[in-house]
């Protein structure tokens, strides 16, 4: 026991140092791509830290969102910037001074936080026991889901609305003339054969894993956000490989998918005023099925919203039908008629 | 089409049982119901992305192919490890243009994936040979090895397993 | 056995962390991507070892997810690199890749 | 029996760790991006495969084991894709004539 | 007589259903947002315009319930009591702000009808969809901030506000507005990070995020744990970045000036007030007086700096919208004078409840009259800019003759902003001045006067230019719609009329303050 404890301590210290070093490097490095790659690696390490803290729910989220989707988003953003844009010589002294000032402030903040955190009460006051104690009334087995969908349902509900607003904000960056068209950021000109193969084989498996994550979330680590993120990632791969085109942003069906999660959440929450005497309350016997219905709808909406956030604002159409790479055409004869449904 | 839908659906449902640790869930009926739904979704997407191709798979050849793949990937790992641990690197990297007989499509992509895991080769692109035939360009770790012969053997096995008519699309 | 598996996890983690030197040194961004890729595969191994050692079944799900998304960053990296003029949407239909759709 | 299985696990996992070390060394020592790519994809996949193989006796049969194998297969697919995708992005290969051409 | 009976019956009904009203205030705009986005096109505007009066009704009902009941209304969401669950709570401050928000948004909605109409022949265009959905998003967030009683819920509500407000800045799509929006986003994210860090420190110390429970823990804490002090500083810093108090105001002028007129009105009148409101909650309702005491002069000092800096900068502006934006920088400064004034009253030997109430009421009145007046001013400036094709102050000559109603409304709003009699701004400043005198802090009163002079100066400068060239009116590119001008005028008059209503009406503000900081 003691040996595995000390091994754990070694692992934790090692991880901590590694993460700090990588974080510093990621901030300090000049190249945009290099920094993004550093960020992706950083996300992976942070996911490991969450595992060490026995917070697998958070680790799943970090791995899917922090490292996976954010990596794609940042790499696409880096691709839009001029590579390693030269800093004009005149501004460099000022920039360096600014960096030093910011660095000193951040270091100071970190020192204060560290000092303060070390003085926090021991054992830490926590609601974990209370959350676990009343969990049976919700029929759930995973207290994290209990917090997200029952005790603090309002936060989750409003976050789901935030996601819709973020998407509207992204779409607002489109040119007026391109409105209603298809998002274009994930179009690739010539996806190679390997990429197309990946996009043909991986998504069905990803769908299973995504639904599994949502479904298992009731009792084990997982949930709507993690499941939705995996589904969004699969969609993004299909888009990158040119096997389907992103949907038009003015499609009614797409909009419906985007709002069904929060809308259903609201509807069941409001019904709670009658059947449970409180907004966002659940009747005793029906709590679990209702929660699962909400989570299912949320998974769908989150997947669509995240996928569309990756796909960027609507852009001018390159031409009819999807962009098909040289390797994909054999298997893809009927595509142009099917992508309307995606 | 229906046959392959059935096959794939069953396979995906099996994957679902795998994921949910079949039988350990609290509510078995609900588990299975969601499993059926997600297997259906996965099958639908799978058929969309990769419609089933006509043609017969020869299972004997497929088995030999898989065995060769497994063995070759172990050899590949050992080969790389040997070079990495060697005090003096012994590499002679270079390109090789390999005329490919499998027509473009999932079959050729699979061949590319396959050969990217065997010793010393890595497909990095495609292009015609000097004679104008379709070819894959390989980057090789060591040109002194009989890389092309190995590739040719892989290709023959693959064509044997999947049959020529698979490619007549 | 638990100690051994934890030790092995630590060893693999240390090994792939050593690979992060490639992130520092580059010289190409692709080299850095390789180090991140190594971290991904190594991370899957570390998670599997940790999961079995600690009996946490959910860690297996995490490993599965990482394996599922293992190629994701590299794909994103490549699609970013492969397009020299990204902000402009492709307008000209002739600029489409000429996949001979049969 | 249990001792044999434990030994099997120890041997396989250790071998896997060695291959991870090999992948890292290759990544650090090989001269250019493409050769490093070889080292990465091949050694890692074998390393992960050995780790999975070693863990098989330690998990419940058959579901836990199959899940481990599924993880390995996914990693294999990822490795194969990454190798080709990065390879073609790093250095556009010579279209024809370069290198050795087999008849 | 009859109506009085009906009204009191209604108020009693509102008190009885107070909790449901809070839920409705939060749910109504969000529930409207979803179909507005899903249906899109012309429906977005229609749904938003239909929701606005309904929301105003809910806000009025909440204010009536709070005022009539004389006590705050609380609601446990999902039936889960804090600390495990999340509570909504409306006291006098919340009710005041809910009402102000609804009034301003109604006027803005009416005003925006002309600018954000889907042109004939197309099913859906970009800016109307974005504007109407984001308007509802801002509203959801604001109501969440005013009703939130839980630090993490407040964080989510603030995010709703920010995510809705940032795209409003660059709705026109011009490159310079994109830069302004990005800068705003970075400040907002910086604020959000600090806020959530601080919330984590609060949780780590007391195991709860509920403001009421935290206040109870902290009231007995001696000394206050260092983690709480650090959290208070971090949270305030983050919120100040979102409020744009000097010297963190750099993002505000280009952002507020670059947005379309209706957007600027929402941003300047309401959005910056949300984070200010949370600062107020934090220092008055959560932290003990012993902590607030030393911080109050610092906050007020920054406020004075903002008053002077914003005023001087406004005087130097060439463009009208930039001038109005810098005026917001200055007016935000006034709000922070509340802290030392209300606290000073608490230290008075005779209790000083009346002075504290005066200071707080003055501050809130300043907030409300600024909201009304600034929304009117931005919309008036927008009308002028659209009509003339530019908003260069020196070339405004003749606009008073060409657009009499608009310029008149601008001037009326300016009256309140400068604190001239008889306006809401005047009453606010006199209440604050009285509190300053009663607590012997004359220097804050001096800052108030100086700010008034600066405000008067830059507004006179605008009016002087607008009235010049009266004989030769400029040719107008576009005549404003009458209902737009009336919406602007209504808000400006509202700011003015606030100065005429009897003082007893302001008692709403102080409902639920007994026992809190400044109210012995």
Domain boundaries defined on chain E: 1-147, 148-153+160-287, 306-520
Residue B117 near residue B76, CB atoms below 8 Å: yes
Same domain, A170 and A217: yes
In the predicted model, is pLDDT for residue A335 greater than 90? no
> Hey, what's the torsion of the CAs at A284, A285, A286, A287, to 10 degrees?
50
Residue A131 belongs to a domain: no
Q: Please give the residue that has the higher pLDDT: either A74 or B88.
A: A74
Task: Say whether residue C20 is in contact with chain D using an 8 A CB cutoff.
Answer: no
- CB contacts < 8 A, B to D, total 151
Instruction: Please state, in angstroms and rounded to a whole number, the distance separating the CA atoms of residues A143 and A126.
Output: 13
Cβ-Cβ contacts under 8 Å, E230 against chain A: 112-113, 116
Phi, psi of B135 (to 5 degrees): -150, 155
Band of residue A176 on the pLDDT scale cut at 50, 70, 90:
confident
Please tell me which residue, B145 or E232, carries the higher pLDDT value. Answer: E232
- Average pLDDT over every residue of A262-275: 94
Element (H, E) at C55: none
3-class secondary-structure state, position B122: strand
Query: Which residue from B minimizes the CA distance to C65?
Result: B19
- What does the alpha-carbon distance between residue E246 and residue E324 come to, in Å, rounded to a whole number? 16
Interchain pair C102, B169: CB under 8 A: yes
Q: What confidence score (pLDDT) does residue A229 get?
A: 94
Mean pLDDT value across residues A122-144: 88
Q: For the residues E437-455, what does the mean pLDDT come to? A: 89
More confident call, A131 vs B97:
A131
C55–B contact, CB cutoff 8 A: no
> Which run of H or of E encompasses E85?
none
- pLDDT for C83 equals 44
Residue E478: Cβ-neighbour burial (10 angstroms; 0-12, 13-18, 19+): exposed
Is the predicted pLDDT of residue E268 greater than 70, yes or no?
yes
Kindly state the average pLDDT of the residues A213-236.
90
> Whole domain around residue A7: which residue ranges?
1-83
Among chain A residues, the shortest Cα distance to D84 is held by: A194
d(CA B122, CA A110): 46
- Phi first, then psi: give them for residue E204, nearest 5 degrees: -65, -25
CB contact under 8 A, A194 and D85: yes
CA angle centred on E430, ends E427 and E435, rounded to 5°: 125
Q: Do A331 and B106 touch (CB under 8 A)?
A: yes
For A192, the closest of D74, D78, D88 (CB atoms) is D88
CA distances from A262 to A164, A281, E160 (A): 9, 15, 14
Residue C16 pLDDT greater than 70, yes or no:
yes
Q: Determine the average pLDDT of the residues in D44-59.
A: 90
Tell me which of D80, D91, D97, D98 to substitute to probe the interface with B (most B C-beta atoms closer than 10 Å): D80
CA–CA separation, E342 vs E509, rounded Å?
13
Question: Strand, helix or coil at B139?
Answer: strand
**Is A117 found in the same domain as A72?**
no
**Cα-Cα end-to-end distance for chain C:** 57
Q: Are the beta carbons of B21 and C102 separated by less than 8 Å? A: no
Q: Does the structure show a pLDDT above 60 at A237?
A: yes
Q: How many residues does chain D have?
A: 103
Question: DSSP letter string over B62-97?
Answer: HHHHHHHHHHHHHHHHHHHHHHHHSSS---B-EEEE
C-alpha to C-alpha distance for D5 and D57, rounded to whole angstroms? 6
Point out which residues pair with B136 in neighbouring strands. B98, B126
In sequence order, what are the residues at sequence separation of 6 or more whose Cβ sits closer than 8 angstroms to the Cβ of residue D54?
Answer: D8, D9, D10, D11, D12, D13, D14, D15, D16
DSSP assignment letter at B135: E
Give the 3-state secondary structure of residue E1. Answer: coil
In this structure, the answer to whether residues A108 and A177 fall within a common structural domain is no
Mean pLDDT of C73-78: 82
Please identify which residue in the block is written with the tokens 């963190």: E248
- Which positions ≥6 away from E489 have C-beta within 8 Å? E376, E405, E408, E409, E412
A319 part of a folded domain: yes
Is residue A193 domain-shared with residue A326, that is, in the same domain?
yes
Contact: A195, D74; criterion CB under 8 Å: no
Residue (of E331, E341, E246) closest to E284 by Cα position: E341
Spatial separation of the C-alpha atoms in residues E135 and E138, rounded to whole Å: 5
A97 shares a domain with A76: no
Q: Residue A130: inside a domain, yes or no?
A: no
Is D96 a residue whose pLDDT tops 90? Answer: no
**Which pLDDT score, from 0 to 100, does residue A90 have?**
53
A96 and A145 together in one domain = no
Length of chain C: 102
**Is residue E74's pLDDT more than 80?**
yes
ipTM score here?
0.90
Q: What is the mean pLDDT of chain A?
A: 84
* A40 lies in the same domain as A176: no
Question: Do residues A120 and A245 share a domain?
Answer: no
Look at the block and give the residue holding tokens 């088995």: B63
More confident of the two residues E473 and E108: E108
B165 C-beta neighbours (distance < 10 Å), count: 11
Both A174 and A46 in one domain: the answer is no
E40-49, E97-106, E435-444: least confidently modelled range: E435-444
Which residue of D83, D95, D96 is in closest CB contact with B122? D83
Distance CA C88, CA A4 (A): 55
The arithmetic mean of pLDDT across residues E8-26, rounded, is: 85
| Contacts with C41 from chain A: Cβ below 8 Å | none
Within 13 Å and on the Cβ side, how many CA atoms surround A324? 22
Q: What percent of chain E has pLDDT over 90?
A: 64
Contacting subunits of A (3+ beta carbon pairs below 8 A): B, C, D, E
Pick from E147, E123, E248, E116: nearest CA to E191: E248
Which helix H or strand E contains A27, and what residues bound it?
Answer: helix A2-28
Nearest to A213 by CA among C40, C53, C48, B34: B34
C57 touches chain B (CB under 8 A): yes
Inform me whether the C-beta atom of residue A105 falls under 8 Å from chain E C-beta atoms.
Answer: no
Q: What is the mean pLDDT of chain D?
A: 82
Nearest residue on chain A to D81, judged by CA atoms?
A194
Which candidate in D20, D67, D82, D93 is best for mutational testing of the B interface (most B CBs within 10 A)? D93
Among E330, D92, C49, residue whose Cα is nearest residue B137: D92
Average pLDDT over residues A35-52: 90
Residues of A in contact with C2 (CB under 8 A): 4
C58 — contact with chain A (CB < 8 Å)? Answer: yes
Whole-angstrom Cα distance, residue D17 to residue C18? 13
Chain D residues in contact with A202 by the CB 8 A cut-off are 74, 77
Enumerate the residues of chain C whose CB falls inside 8 A of the CB of residue D67: 60, 64
Closest Cβ opposite residue B106 in set A141, A197, A212: A197
User: Which residues of chain A neighbour D88 with C-beta distances below 8 Å?
Assistant: 192, 194
Q: How far is CA E419 from the centre of its chain?
A: 17
Question: Do both A58 and A102 map to the same domain?
Answer: no
Q: Is the pLDDT of residue A330 over 70?
A: no
Q: What is the pLDDT of residues A100-118, one digit of tens each?
A: 898 899 889 989 999 999 9
Whether A156 and A268 map to the same domain: the answer is yes
- Kindly tell me if the per-residue pLDDT of E41 is higher than 90: no
Has residue A336 got a pLDDT over 60?
no
Quick one: pLDDT band at residue B166, thresholds 50, 70, 90? very low
pLDDT at position E344 is 80
Touching check for E84 and chain A: CB below 8 Å? yes
Residue A132 domain-assigned (yes or no): no
Closest residue to D22, CB basis, from B17, B84, B139: B84
- Candidates B15, B42, B109; nearest CB to A196: B109
Mean pLDDT of chain E: 90
Is residue D71 within 8 angstroms of chain B, CB to CB? no
Statement to judge: residues A289 and A247 lie in one domain: yes
* Partner D contacted by C43 (CB < 8 A): no
Contact C68/A at CB under 8 A: yes
- Rounded to an integer, what distance in angstroms lies between the CA atom of residue D90 and that of residue A30? 20
Q: How many domains does chain A have?
A: 3
pLDDT tens for residues E358-368?
A: 888 999 999 99
Closest-CA residue in chain A for D75? A202
């Amino acid at each position: 026991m003691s040996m595995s404890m000390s091994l754990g301590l070694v692992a934790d210290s090692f991880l901590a140092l590694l993460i700090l070093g990588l974080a510093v490097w990621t901030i300090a490095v000049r190249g945009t791509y290099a920094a993004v790659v550093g960020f992706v690696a950083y996300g992976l390490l942070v996911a490991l830290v969450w595992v060490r803290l026995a917070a697998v729910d958070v680790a799943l989220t970090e791995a899917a969102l922090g490292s996976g989707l954010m990596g794609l988003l940042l790499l696409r953003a880096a691709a839009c910037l001029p590579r390693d844009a030269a800093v004009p010589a005149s501004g460099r002294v000022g920039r360096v001074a600014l960096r030093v000032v910011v660095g000193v402030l951040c270091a100071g903040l970190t020192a204060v936080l560290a000092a303060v955190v070390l003085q926090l009460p021991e054992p830490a006051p926590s609601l974990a026991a209370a959350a676990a104690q009343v969990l049976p009334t919700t029929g759930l087995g995973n207290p994290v889901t209990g917090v997200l969908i029952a005790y603090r349902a309002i936060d989750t509900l409003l976050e789901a609305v935030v996601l819709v607003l973020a998407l509207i904000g992204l779409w607002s960056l489109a040119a007026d003339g391109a409105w209603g068209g298809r998002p274009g950021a994930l179009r690739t000109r010539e996806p190679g054969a390997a990429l197309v193969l990946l996009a043909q084989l991986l998504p069905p498996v990803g769908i299973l894993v995504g639904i599994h994550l949502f479904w298992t979330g009731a009792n084990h680590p997982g949930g709507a956000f993690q499941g939705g993120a995996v589904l969004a990632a699969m969609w993004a791969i299909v888009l990158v490989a040119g096997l389907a085109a992103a949907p038009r942003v003015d499609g009614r069906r797409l909009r419906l998918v985007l709002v069904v999660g929060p809308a259903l959440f609201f509807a069941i929450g409001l019904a709670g005023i009658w059947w449970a005497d409180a907004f966002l309350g659940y009747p005793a016997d029906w709590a679990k099925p209702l929660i699962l219905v909400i989570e299912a709808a949320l998974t769908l909406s989150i997947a669509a919203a995240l996928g569309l956030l990756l796909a960027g604002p609507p852009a001018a159409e390159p031409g009819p039908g999807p962009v098909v790479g040289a390797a994909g055409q054999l298997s893809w004869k009927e595509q142009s008629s099917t992508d309307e449904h995606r | 089409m229906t046959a392959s839908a059935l096959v794939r659906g069953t396979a995906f449902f099996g994957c679902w049982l795998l994921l949910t640790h079949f039988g350990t869930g609290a509510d078995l009926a609900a588990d299975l119901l969601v499993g059926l739904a997600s297997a259906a979704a996965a099958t639908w997407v799978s058929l969309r992305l990769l419609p089933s191709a006509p043609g017969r798979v020869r299972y004997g050849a497929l088995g030999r192919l898989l065995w060769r793949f497994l063995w070759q990937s172990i050899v590949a790992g050992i080969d790389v490890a040997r070079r990495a641990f060697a005090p003096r690197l012994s590499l002679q990297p270079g390109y090789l243009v390999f005329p490919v007989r499998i027509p473009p499509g999932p079959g050729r992509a699979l061949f590319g994936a396959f050969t990217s895991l065997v010793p010393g080769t890595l497909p990095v692109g495609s292009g015609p040979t000097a004679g104008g035939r379709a070819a894959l360009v390989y980057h090789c770790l060591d040109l002194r090895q009989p890389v092309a012969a190995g590739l040719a053997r892989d290709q023959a096995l693959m064509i044997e397993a999947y049959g020529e008519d698979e490619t007549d699309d | 056995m638990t100690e051994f598996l934890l030790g092995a996890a630590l060893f693999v983690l240390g090994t792939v962390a050593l690979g992060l030197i490639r992130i520092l040194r580059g010289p190409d961004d692709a080299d850095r991507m390789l180090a991140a890729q190594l971290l991904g595969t190594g991370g899957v191994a570390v998670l599997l070892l940790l999961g079995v050692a600690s009996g946490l079944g959910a860690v297996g799900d995490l490993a599965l997810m990482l394996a599922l998304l293992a190629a994701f960053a590299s794909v994103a990296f490549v699609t970013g690199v492969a397009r020299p003029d990204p902000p402009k949407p492709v307008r000209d239909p002739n600029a489409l890749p000429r996949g001979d759709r049969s | 029996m249990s001792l044999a299985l434990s030994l099997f696990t120890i041997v396989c996992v250790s071998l896997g760790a060695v291959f991870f070390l090999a992948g890292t060394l290759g990544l650090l020592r090989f001269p250019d991006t493409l050769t490093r790519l070889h080292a990465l994809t091949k050694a890692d996949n074998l390393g992960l495969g050995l780790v999975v193989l070693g863990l098989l006796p330690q998990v419940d049969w058959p579901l836990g084991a199959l899940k481990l194998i599924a993880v390995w297969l996914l990693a294999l697919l990822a490795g194969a894709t990454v190798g080709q995708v990065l390879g073609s992005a790093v250095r556009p290969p010579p279209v024809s004539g370069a290198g050795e051409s087999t008849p | 007589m009859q109506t009085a009976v009906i009204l009191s019956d209604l108020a009693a009904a509102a008190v009885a259903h107070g909790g449901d009203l809070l839920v409705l205030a939060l749910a109504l705009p969000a529930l409207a947002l979803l179909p507005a986005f899903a249906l899109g096109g012309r429906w977005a505007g229609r749904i938003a315009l239909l929701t606005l009066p309904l929301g105003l009704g809910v806000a009025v009902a909440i204010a009536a319930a709070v005022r009539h009941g004389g006590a705050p209304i609380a609601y446990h969401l999902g039936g889960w009591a804090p600390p495990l669950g999340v509570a909504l709570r409306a006291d006098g401050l919340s009710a005041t702000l809910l009402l102000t928000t609804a009034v301003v948004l109604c006027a803005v909605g009416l005003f925006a009808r002309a600018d954000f109409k889907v042109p004939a022949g197309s099913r859906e265009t970009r800016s109307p969809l974005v504007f109407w959905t984001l308007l509802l998003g801002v509203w959801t967030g604001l109501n969440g901030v005013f009703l939130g009683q839980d630090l993490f819920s407040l964080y989510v509500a603030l995010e709703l506000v920010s995510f809705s407000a940032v795209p409003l800045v660059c709705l026109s799509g011009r490159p310079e507005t994109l830069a302004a929006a990005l800068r705003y986003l970075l400040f907002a994210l910086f604020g959000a990070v600090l806020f959530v860090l601080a919330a984590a420190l609060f949780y780590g110390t007391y195991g709860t995020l509920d403001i009421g429970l935290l206040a109870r823990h902290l009231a007995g804490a001696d000394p206050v744990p260092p983690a709480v002090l650090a959290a208070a500083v971090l949270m305030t810093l983050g919120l100040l970045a979102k409020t744009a108090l000097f010297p963190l105001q750099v993002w505000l002028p280009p952002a507020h000036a670059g947005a379309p007129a209706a957007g600027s009105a929402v941003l300047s009148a309401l959005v910056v007030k949300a984070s200010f409101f949370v600062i107020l909650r934090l220092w008055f309702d959560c932290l003990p007086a012993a902590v607030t005491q030393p911080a109050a002069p610092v906050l007020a000092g920054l406020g004075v700096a903002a008053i002077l800096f914003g005023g001087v900068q406004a005087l130097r502006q060439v463009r009208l919208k930039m001038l109005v934006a810098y005026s917001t920088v200055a007016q935000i400064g006034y709000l922070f004078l509340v802290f030392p004034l209300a606290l000073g009253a608490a230290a008075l030997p005779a209790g000083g409840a009346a002075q504290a109430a005066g200071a707080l009421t003055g501050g809130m009145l300043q907030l409300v009259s600024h909201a009304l007046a600034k929304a009117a001013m931005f919309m008036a400036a927008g009308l002028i800019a659209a009509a003339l094709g530019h908003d260069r102050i020196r070339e405004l000559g003749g606009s008073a003759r060409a657009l009499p109603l608009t310029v008149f409304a601008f001037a009326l709003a300016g009256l309140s902003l400068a604190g001239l009699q008889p306006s809401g701004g005047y009453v606010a400043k006199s209440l604050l001045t009285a509190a300053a005198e009663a607590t012997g802090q004359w220097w804050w009163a001096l800052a108030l006067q100086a700010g008034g002079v600066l405000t008067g100066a830059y507004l006179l400068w605008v009016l002087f230019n607008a009235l010049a060239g009266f004989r030769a009116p400029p040719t107008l590119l576009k005549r404003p719609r009458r209902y737009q001008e009336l919406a602007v005028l209504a808000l400006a008059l509202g700011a003015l009329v606030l100065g005429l209503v009897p003082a007893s009406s302001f008692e709403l503000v102080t409902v639920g303050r007994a026992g809190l900081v400044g109210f012995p």
